[in-house]
Structure 1
């Protein structure tokens, strides 16, 4: 464990977590043009479902390449995030996303049981991510339904973004 050298505020930790999430939306590039790996401590850990725990920047890079290689695009819905602060180095972000996986598109809530809802638990010290454990359904395209009896007979509806409603005026 690294020795703490500076005190961070909750808002500073949140800004590091946001930079990390926005880098995913930008194919692994941060707002300053650097690599998403620049946001991590050398001995950081990242957990992703069905991949496991990656330790250190080399393994984290391999994990991100493996997972990111299955995604054509991703967009996090920043305005709807819930943030939970521990008063220490740990914070939690809960949110939704949409995008396109190699197996098809996804959008949180379409269908309600499908992918797109996630929760990340961060540990951030000295402006670097020490640990992030990612909790989500990695079946982005919703194809793994046969193993779940409550989904039998349900099909994934076509992913159609609802048309914008026009304002109505009354005469």
Structure 2
């Protein structure tokens, strides 16, 4: 991991997070036309449920390729974000989304128990994402219901 050389404000870290999420909504392309991986440090770590931990840009790219190949379209609901700043390099953002997965569409709250709610934990230094852990239900189309008895009367 590289040593930090530049002190960033919470608002600056927030701008990196927004650039990342908007790039994801734009098929992996940032507002400057760069790829989403350009927002990451070379030795960054990322986690996605049911994929696991990716170390370094190459593995993160493979993770995004694997997950992204199942998503036809995604849109994050920016006006509904809940931001938590730690006073250090950590930024947590909780939000909702909708879109279309290869197995079908999803929208947060439809139904209430299904996909679309998420929480991301970022560590950002020197204008680069050092660590990103994504917490969400990867069953976007809400097909995995038989294993959860409490959903039997809701599907």
TM, length-normalised to structure 2: 0.99
Structure 2 residue matching 1:66: 3-state secondary structure: helix
Cα separation, 1, equivalents of 2:91 and 2:64 = 21
| Deviation per residue, 1:79-124 (Å, 9 max, x gap) | 0000000000001000000000000000000000000000000000
Who is 2:105 aligned against?
Answer: 105
Who is 1:12 aligned against?
Answer: 12
Who is 2:84 aligned against?
Answer: 84
Who is 2:3 aligned against?
Answer: 3
Who is 1:74 aligned against?
Answer: 74
Aligned-CA RMSD value: 0.5
Unaligned runs of 5+ in 1: 156-171
Cα separation, 1, equivalents of 2:84 and 2:29 = 26
Aligned-pair distance for 1:21?
0.4
Aligned-pair distance for 1:152?
1.0
Cα separation, 2, equivalents of 1:65 and 1:153 = 35
After the TM superposition, list the runs of 4 or more consecutive aligned residues in structure 1 that deviate by more than 4 angstroms. none
Aligned-pair distance for 1:2?
1.8
Cα separation, 1, equivalents of 2:57 and 2:124 = 15
Cα separation, 2, equivalents of 1:129 and 1:115 = 25
Aligned-pair distance for 1:154?
2.0
Who is 2:58 aligned against?
Answer: 58
Aligned-pair distance for 1:126?
0.2
Who is 1:168 aligned against?
Answer: none
TM, length-normalised to structure 1: 0.90
Spell out the pairing of 1:1-171 with structure 2 (5 A cutoff): 1-155=1-155
How many residue pairs match? The answer is 155
Higher CA-based Rg: 1
